[in-house]
A and B are shown apart, each in its own frame.
Chain A
Amino acid sequence: MGNIKDFSAIVLKKTAFSDELFMLRVLPEERIKQPNPGQFFLLKSWEGLDPLLFRPFAPVLAHEDGSLDFLIKVVGKGTQIIRSCMEGAKVKLRGPCGNSFPDPAGQRLILIGGAVGIAPMVFSYMNYEKKLPVKLILGVPGAGWDDFCESDIFSNLDLEIFSDDGSIGRKGTPLTLFEKGEIGEGDEIWACGPIGMLKALGTAIDAVKENQIYVSLEARMACGIGGCLGCTIPTKWGPRRVCADGPVFKWAEVSWNEL
Chain B
Amino acid sequence: MSFSDILGVSIGKLMLRSPIIIASGVWPMEPERWPSGIVDKVGAICTKGLTFSPKEGNKGIRLWETPCGLLNSIGLQNPGLESFLKNEFQMLKNCGCPLIFNLAFHREDELDLLLDKLSSSGFDGTVEINVSCPNVSGGGMAWAVDLMSLEMVLKKARAKWKGDIWVKLSPNVPDIYDSAIVAENCGADAIVVANTWLGLAIDIKKKKPVFERIFAGLSGPAILPLSLRLVWEATNVVKIPVIGCGGITDTESALGMLMAGASAIQIGTGLLRDFEVINKICGGIEGYMEENEIDSVKQLVGLAKKNHNIRG
Contacts and interface: CB of A to CB of B under 8 A. Distances in A.
Given A6-B35, A227-B26, A51 B59 contact: no
A166 to B, nearest CB: 28
Nearest to B79: A238
Nearest to B271: A223
Interface string B114-147: 0000000000000000000000000000000000
Task: Report, nearest first, the 6 A-B pairs whose CB atoms are least far apart.
Answer: A230-B63, A1-B36, A227-B28, A222-B272, A220-B63, A49-B68
A2 B34 contact: yes
A232 B78 CA distance: 12
7 contacts: A4-B35, A52-B69, A222-B70, A223-B272, A226-B30, A228-B72, A228-B74
A52 B275 CA distance: 13
A230 B28 contact: no
Interface in B223-280: 249, 269, 271-276
A26 interface: no
A244 B33 CA distance: 9
A124 to B, nearest CB: 24
Contacts of B65: 51-53
B77 interface: yes
Contact of A221 (B28, B30, B34, B63): B63
Nearest to B30: A226
A106 interface: no
B28 A5 contact: no
B48 A229 contact: yes
Contacts of B70: 52-53, 222
Contact of B56 (A50, A94, A230, A239): A239
Contacts of B63: 220-222, 228, 230-231
B272 A234 contact: no
Contacts of A223: 26-28, 271-272
Interface in B40-74: 48, 56-57, 59, 61-65, 67-70, 72, 74
Contacts of A6: 35, 274-276
B273 A52 contact: yes
Nearest to A51: B65
Interface residues of A, number: 29
Interface of A: 1-2, 4-6, 49-54, 94, 220-223, 225-232, 234, 238-239, 244, 258
B291 interface: no
Given A52-B69, A226-B30, A229-B74, 19 more contacts: A2-B34, A6-B35, A49-B273, A53-B70, A53-B272, A53-B273, A94-B275, A220-B64, A223-B28, A223-B271, A225-B35, A226-B33, A227-B28, A228-B74, A230-B63, A231-B62, A239-B56, A244-B28, A258-B59
B62 A232 contact: yes
Contacts, number: 99
A11 B274 CA distance: 20
Contact of A1 (B32, B269, B273): B32
Nearest to B31: A1
B62 A229 contact: yes
A225 B275 CA distance: 11
Contacts of A54: 273
Contact of A239 (B57, B64, B274): B57
A229 B68 CA distance: 20
Given A5-B35, A244-B33, A230 B59 contact: no
B1 to A, nearest CB: 28
Nearest to B74: A229
A193 B272 CA distance: 26
B98 interface: no
A2 B37 CA distance: 10
Nearest to A228: B26
B270 to A, nearest CB: 10
Contacts of B221: 49, 52
Contacts of A229: 25, 48, 57, 62, 74, 77
A51 B222 CA distance: 12
A256 to B, nearest CB: 14
Nearest to B22: A227
A54 B25 CA distance: 18
A225 B33 contact: yes
B9 to A, nearest CB: 24
Contact of A52 (B26, B48, B62, B220): B220
A5 B35 CA distance: 6
Contacts of B28: 223, 225-227, 244
Contacts of A94: 275
